[in-house]
Chains A and B, each alone.
Chain A
């Protein structure tokens, strides 16, 4: 029997605030254990939470970008459970009144556009981290991360393949990065995804029993885990079995999912409104002000890049996939208004170096201004395209200016007729038989002769000029 998977996704996005959700501690990553803590995020007796207004702003901007109905008076609730990394014995989250209500996000899969319904998005604080000794003689708790703001974004079960999930995750991640509310780093856990998946016979309306997947920290794993799980469920059903409602962990090394907790093990979280925090009132005027701070989003930018710059779908997609790269491109076009050329350089030489050094476009050592200087040198014929290309990695690593490098390496292109004519005369004397062939009508030999002149100039001759002068010499 053919089965159809039905998938919903929960994403926990860490918001890029300077401080935690309910106290003034920093949110930086990778500091020594328990060094970014205070009475509030340690859950000391008597401490009280105070809501970080920046986190509310980020949640509202995200909600607006996801076309959500915002909840005018939303509320924090306590989610009660015991765990060593949860200092208060409850997590401050949102329950029946999340900050963002229903909305949607448009994704594109195999050239087709589709709308994924967002069920809700709510603010909550992150937990700390349990650290277990290698030798097994003890466990420790690091509460640096406790209280870091998260926005949990939940879809309706609107995704029907691992490819759609992949597209949704990438589109959402790009959106959050564009909004500058999340750094989107999956490995560091700033963008965590927990898909839930059930399968049903093709054509059946009723949903099957769903399984939640955890421990997925890359786009690859999301796809692999879902493909594995869809197959596993299909096998269970084909064997006449029943899929159990449970939470399963993705094991990267085995390439399998394994049961973490069954439905019976599910907690009763005893949610109730947090009496330490007032309802969050979203003032309509304030919200409209925030709407004005939302930058052009990836989908709109892609459309504009194709129209305004006459770029191919492929180039425009690469450029707009990353806000940093798109910004870089547009900064260049402002100085050097040849979009196609700029696009070739940005998606080619620049992106290659960025990838090699795992650098974000924003922190590229070659600024848009520098790149434009180089492009101008090519455009004016001062340096050859080939030389410029070869030069680029060094430009990237040394931090020198294009003019400096060109001069240092003697790459200034020779266009001066006098010096070129000297070189040409030498070559014509050196290769008499080829000259004969050309004059006999075999014009293809011209390329060989141009090459010899270039070689004699050690690559500094302007090839166009050489071509022109050679033709003139040979026909005289």
Chain B
């Protein structure tokens, strides 16, 4: 089998036993990228071949001296382009940072690099992670490997497409309201959003600080656990990262049943607006979960309907402040030929940001304005607390919640670009877990009649990634969906 078709775990085993070298991995993946990338456009920046081979040779040469291999050694990874990589351009999919080369590594990069992986490049995203389709990238949209007329989802669409198209073995994404889980569902791969505070945000370019969380996008649940192991843990540079003990998450991907686990089915997630095909596949999945020992119980999360409005007040308010630093003064894009300061600010931000980013900055600025704060931002914070309490209450009775990831399969490119509200609705099932800071995973649970993947979401209690992973793994093993791969005709 071609190297690029392997899962992370399979490739790791081949490398560890000396069957393949790091240099062979680099060559295989760069060749694959050269074949597929013109169609998929998953990457914004691919690391130069010479640099990658140099790394690979260093790994291969040093291997005897080290004796021990790390789980991610020589693994070809892709990184969402809103995670700072020292010396490697980090654009956030924005014209504003088109030429920005960070002088420092994000904490997750420091942790990954300690295991000596091969960082193939930086993947496409909606500008500053604001969007659900990658169509808001200043570098053009990525394509869904299953059908190139369709979106790969977003905002981590480049990472999900790269994994699905075998342009990397695993990737990092970031999730603010569903930006890991929704593209994973669109592309038929696994996407895990850890509990808020589990993974350091230091070096993740902020969109909405109280929601942003980095997580893995992989081919299998086991691969997600391997990646999560590498990036979790307290970081003194991020005050919102917790210093809880970190388990070995791969231990959660051993058992093929979920006996004794109670799985809640929230009524509100199966209401109006859910595509019948998606509903059918998710109901099938629930039966599978029951079949492998899960106890199924219907539950209610009454505040669900308010989640989208709440999210679009809180996330935009934080974004309006987080994006104020892109002012043309210190780094990034600056509009030319301004006569004075206010004009320079105005032109820089008008030309440097795309329409969706500007829309959200304006929404957020309005929500925080004097006289409107209490009615909008203040109220949204109260509703956020209600949503968290809903979850607290049901998690007294159940261990897990199961739901669709997205109301429909991946829509067509351009289909919702002119209708922001329709676009926002594609995150309706992923936003509540974001607002509550819960761990949640998206795993493939079927294909639509048009051959597009459909995702299943499992949500757990805060810091119970172990339970989420255990159920996801057992489900994955009980079904065959992971073996379905897109065929990309060149």
Contacts and interface: CB of A to CB of B under 8 A. Distances in A.
A272 B236 CA distance: 24
Contacts of A277: 239
Nearest to A76: B239
B103 A89 contact: no
A46 B106 contact: yes
A43 interface: yes
A275 B370 contact: no
Nearest to B345: A82
Contact of B373 (A50, A141, A272): A272
A35 interface: no
Interface in B175-211: 201-206, 208-210
A278 B102 CA distance: 26
A348 B364 CA distance: 63
Interface in B352-383: 365, 368-370, 373, 377
A49 interface: yes
Task: Give the interface residue-count category, chain A.
Answer: 20 to 34
A48 B239 contact: yes
Interface in B78-116: 83-84, 90, 92, 97, 100, 102-104, 106
B327 interface: yes
A45 B90 contact: yes
Contacts of A42: 330
B324 A88 contact: yes
A89 B324 contact: yes
B324 A84 contact: no
B319 to A, nearest CB: 11
A142 to B, nearest CB: 12
A190 B172 CA distance: 45
A275 B210 contact: yes
A45 B239 contact: no
Contacts of A147: none
Range for the number of chain B residues in contact with chain A: 35 or more
A47 interface: yes
B237 interface: yes
A195 interface: no
Contacts of A51: 239
B321 A89 contact: yes
Interface string B207-229: 01110000000000000000000
A45 B97 contact: yes
A44 interface: yes
A141 B318 CA distance: 26
Interface string A57-99: 0000000000000000000001010101001111000000000
Contact of A45 (B102, B317, B321): B102
B239 A270 contact: no
A118 to B, nearest CB: 26
B239 A80 contact: no
B317 A272 contact: yes
A276 interface: yes
A272 B341 CA distance: 26
A39 B104 contact: yes
B392 interface: no
B240 interface: yes
B368 A45 contact: no
A42 B202 CA distance: 14
B203 A46 contact: yes
Nearest to A42: B330
A44 B321 contact: no
Contacts of A78: 321
B13 interface: no
Contact of B368 (A80, A82, A278): A80
A50 B240 CA distance: 10
Nearest to A40: B237
A293 to B, nearest CB: 25
B368 A272 contact: yes
A44 B103 contact: yes
Given A45-B84, A46-B202, A84-B329, A276 B102 contact: no
A133 interface: no
Contacts of B331: 44-45
A205 interface: no
Nearest to A22: B239
B251 interface: no
Looking at A82, A88, A141, A270, the one whose CB has the most chain B CB atoms below 10 A away is A270
A80 B324 CA distance: 8
A272 B376 CA distance: 12
A278 B104 CA distance: 24
Contacts of B210: 275
Contact of A276 (B90, B240, B341, B369): B240
A278 B240 contact: yes
Given A80-B324, A84-B329, A272-B377, A45 B370 contact: no
B10 interface: no
Nearest to B200: A48
A283 interface: no
A63 to B, nearest CB: 22
Contacts of B368: 80, 270-272
Contact of A46 (B205, B321, B326, B373): B205
A268 interface: yes
B370 A87 contact: no
B138 to A, nearest CB: 15
Given A89-B327, A270-B370, A45 B205 contact: yes
A268 B368 CA distance: 9
B343 interface: no
B238 interface: yes
B447 to A, nearest CB: 37
B325 interface: yes
A244 to B, nearest CB: 20
A50 B234 CA distance: 13
Contact of B318 (A84, A268, A275): A275
A84 B341 contact: yes
Interface string A26-44: 0000000000000100111
Given A39-B104, A90-B321, A270-B369, A46 B84 contact: yes
Given A270-B369, A275-B318, A276-B209, A49 B239 contact: yes
B462 to A, nearest CB: 16
Q: Return the 6 tightest CB-CB contacts between A and B, nearest first.
A: A89-B324, A270-B368, A275-B210, A275-B209, A45-B205, A46-B203
Given A46-B204, A84-B327, A88-B324, 7 more contacts: A42-B330, A45-B331, A50-B236, A89-B325, A90-B321, A270-B321, A277-B239
16 contacts: A39-B103, A44-B102, A45-B206, A48-B201, A48-B202, A48-B239, A50-B237, A51-B239, A80-B324, A82-B324, A82-B345, A84-B329, A87-B330, A89-B327, A268-B369, A278-B240
